[in-house]
Amino acid sequence: MSNTIPSIACNPAPSPDADVVVIGLTEAGGEPTLVGAPEEHLAAALSLGATAKLGTLTFLPGTPRLVVVGLGDADVTPDAVRHAAGAALRAVAGMSGATGWRVAISLELNDPELLEAAVEGALLGAYRIPKVTAEPSSAPVTAVEVVAQPEVAETLDAARVVAEAVLQARDWVNTPPNLLYPASFAESAKELVSGVKVACEILDEKALAKGGYGGLTAVGGGSARPPRLLRLSWAPKGAAFHLALVGKGITFDSGGLDLKPAAQMASMTSDMAGAATVIAATHAIAALNLPIRVTTYAAMAENLPSGSAYRSADVLTMFNGTTVENCNTDAEGRLVLADALGRACTDEPDLIVDVATLTGACVVALGNQTAGLMASDEETADRLLDAAEIAGEALWHLPIPDEARDRLKSEVADLRSTGNVRWGGALIAGAFLQRFVGERSWAHLDIAGPAFNEEKSWGYTPQGGTGVMVRTLVALAKGLAG
């Protein structure tokens, strides 16, 4: 499954054949001001109820159609532009009769950061979940042009690369689990990186068993579709920093023998969002030719109940030799990540970042629009928080207290897979993962809340897979590359 991504162009003025032109409205001291359009349209916009509130939309009649989008305060930020462009394109793509439309974005985008934000917001806002159908269909928006001077075209290309990476992650998350399973997911990732200089290695179930990947083989053992471990390597000459990315790729999570309630199960096609995030980000980093070495692991498995499924009370031996008393077959993500983190450590990276839809506890703590961050040290946490701020993504730093580590003590193995109480589940999961990175610089991103949107679309965020944290990882790589 894949989407038709609109083409992107840059013009000093809207094209005469544009079907829709998006203009902005700001406010300073109570005075509304149009952005990217003559003031003669202001009275008409205000008469129809247009406001500067961020993301609000007002449609003006005429040819081409004019869409007035609220940009908030007159001191417009990249995040405001990203949000506004996304809201506008999402609305345009949903309009009656929208087929193959060309949309011009006229928001005074001569600042490269604003241009980058507009391109990202527009492409992300135009996204529609690919439909599994034999019926041919046309994309509602096939071309986007940003009104800016031609010298910012390089920024345009870079923004498109990043946006396409987010869209790829969304497509993978939104693919039904009978079509996306460990083997097909790994092959799809291999195909994606074939166009860039990224080396790809796929370990099948035999190689995993031989290599001692006890978490992956246990979690994937209940499914007729065996697990995979994908390894990607981007190693440009002269790279001074080595970043390792690790993603949870549970292509469907039934909970295993500790079966989930039926109402919770349908969205578990999204439990591979962490793997989708790190793979898509790696491809973008390579496509942007960033001078940083990146080694990426995606631990892929399908967690199903059967006669060969692993059990609660099993003791598993992870890749690095640590033994784990399994306490809940629905806490499978940390087991596959433990194997991948242990393997990543053998590459001796300077920093490891793992991404996972890991715990419902993190959603309880932070809601469904903010990801949780745990880290080995404050400097590493600050690096991730700075990258998230640049990308315009919500990330909150959580602690790993000694109490959480104490909850993992086991009488029969080196540690338990879960704590012995209900409370602080996200922190206990972070403490578990940290055991597999030792003293290395490490960060854990729990994206269980924002990775899959089951509520109304907003801004550039659609229903379904969101592609959250792809842009943050690319921003992190840019910062580390210097």
Cα separations (Å) of 347 from 232, 243, 301, 374, 440?
A: 12, 10, 23, 22, 12
Show the tokens assigned to 152: 């910012």
At position 130, the amino acid (one-letter code) is P
Burial (CB < 10 A; 0-12, 13-18, 19+), residue 44, is middle
Q: Are 123 and 6 in contact (CB under 8 A)?
A: yes
Query: Of 56, 49, 24, nearest to 37 (Cα)?
Result: 24
Query: Of 405, 275, 254, nearest to 336 (Cα)?
Result: 275
CA dihedral 413, 417, 418, 424 (to 10 degrees): 110
Query: Of 312, 307, 278, nearest to 294 (Cα)?
Result: 278
Q: Are 358 and 448 in contact (CB under 8 A)?
A: yes
- Active site (catalytic) residues: 260, 334
Query: Of 444, 480, 449, nearest to 466 (Cα)?
Result: 449
As a whole number of angstroms, the distance between CA 7 and CA 141 comes to: 9
Q: Phi and psi dihedrals of 244, rounded to 5?
A: -110, 130
22: Cβ–Cβ under 8 A, 6 or more apart, which residues?
A: 36, 67, 69, 85, 88, 89, 92, 103, 104, 105, 106, 107
Q: What is the DSSP letter of 128?
A: -
Q: Phi and psi dihedrals of 380, rounded to 5?
A: -65, -45
| DSSP H or E stretch at residue 147 | strand 141-147
What is the DSSP pairing of strand 242-253 with strand 293-303?
Answer: parallel
Residue 366, Cβ neighbours under 10 Å: how many? Answer: 21
**Cis peptide upstream of residue 64 (ω within 30 degrees of 0):** yes
Show the tokens assigned to 11: 């013009």
